[in-house]
Structure 1
Amino acid sequence: MYTELRETATELAAVLWREHTVYRERGGGVVIRGEHVGRWISLAPTGGKDQARLRAGRLLDGGTTAPARSETVVDLTAGTNELAAVCRRLLADVAAADTEPARLRTERRRPRAERPAKPARPRKSRHTSFGSWVVLLCVTGLVGLWVYAQFGVYGY
């Protein structure tokens, strides 16, 4: 199945993008990366004969992949052009999903000048706390008892 997916992905990548990278993913599928468009497409086996799960997503800054935004199951016996049409539809869904949240974020976010300033938190003093004094007194008492036991009984 991997060989069939690899061949299909290579043909599909040539139709979709001039610049692309095809590689195997951990789950046994094949990924097509289009670095210049910031998108990826994945073909993975579904368990059915001549079927594959087709997923599409975007590439994040630094080259990592974002989770899939859309997916569907395709028949691998269909021609390359039909698979390319399905891929283009999924990529259009990904592009539409990317622009909508950005638009909403810009409407919700106020400019920095309009934001109220956060109040400064009061600083804690650097003095020794009550608990530290108790520990110091206990340690001093134990050292005193040890010295008394060693030297106090015999009067050295």
Structure 2
Amino acid sequence: MQTQLRETAAELAAVLWREHTVYRERGGGVVIRGEHVRRWISLAPTGGKDQALVRAGRILDGGTTAPARLEVVVDLAAGTAELAAVCRRLLAEVAADAAPSAAGTARPARTGRAGRSVRPGRRRHTGFGSWVVLVCVAGAVAFWAYTAFGGAR
């Protein structure tokens, strides 16, 4: 099964990505990493004859892999083309899951008065709650000064 997974992974990697790395996992599976697309696919034995558990996930900044987002059991006898179609569907779903977080960081900064950059969702002025805290602290200091320096003689 190990040899079959390795051969299938090598064929699949060549179909999916031009640039890829194929390596063996500790658990007996095989991982295909596509660094340029920041995705990975794993093929692991399931215990069934000619079946494999296919998992897909993202590659994070710094090269670490995020946990698998999706997984499906496939029949290895189906052929490389069918297996590649399943993997492409999983990779598309992983990319769709990651798209909202990537789109939020790529947004350009707005500019406020005088062309200064303003972060979205941030207010520049001191809020009402902060003023209440400042007044209470000032009142406590004034009360302490009044009682400590002879205000009640």
Normalising by structure 1, report the TM-score: 0.68
Unpaired segments ≥5 residues, structure 1: 120-156
Residues 116, 21 of structure 1: alpha-carbon distance in 2 compared, 3 angstrom cutoff: farther
Q: Note if 1:60 corresponds to 2:69.
A: no
Residues 49, 40 of structure 1: alpha-carbon distance in 2 compared, 3 angstrom cutoff: same
Counterparts of 1:24 and 1:116, CA distance in 2: 56
Counterparts of 1:115 and 1:104, CA distance in 2: 21
Deviation for aligned residue 1:45: 0.3
Counterparts of 1:116 and 1:24, CA distance in 2: 56
Unpaired segments ≥5 residues, structure 2: 107-118, 131-153
Q: How many residues align?
A: 119
Counterparts of 1:27 and 1:52, CA distance in 2: 13
Counterparts of 1:22 and 1:105, CA distance in 2: 31
C-alpha RMSD over aligned residues:
2.7
Determine helix, strand or coil for the equivalent of 1:114.
coil
Residues 102, 29 of structure 1: alpha-carbon distance in 2 compared, 3 angstrom cutoff: same
Instruction: Give the AA of the match of 1:13.
Output: A
Indicate the residue corresponding to 1:25 in structure 2. Answer: 25
Q: Which 10-residue stretch deviates more, 96-105 or 58-67?
A: 96-105
Counterparts of 1:23 and 1:42, CA distance in 2: 10
Q: Equivalent pairs: percent with the same residue? A: 77
The C-alpha deviation readout for 1:87-123, integer Å capped at 9, x for no partner, is 00000000011013455789xxx73742777x7xxxx
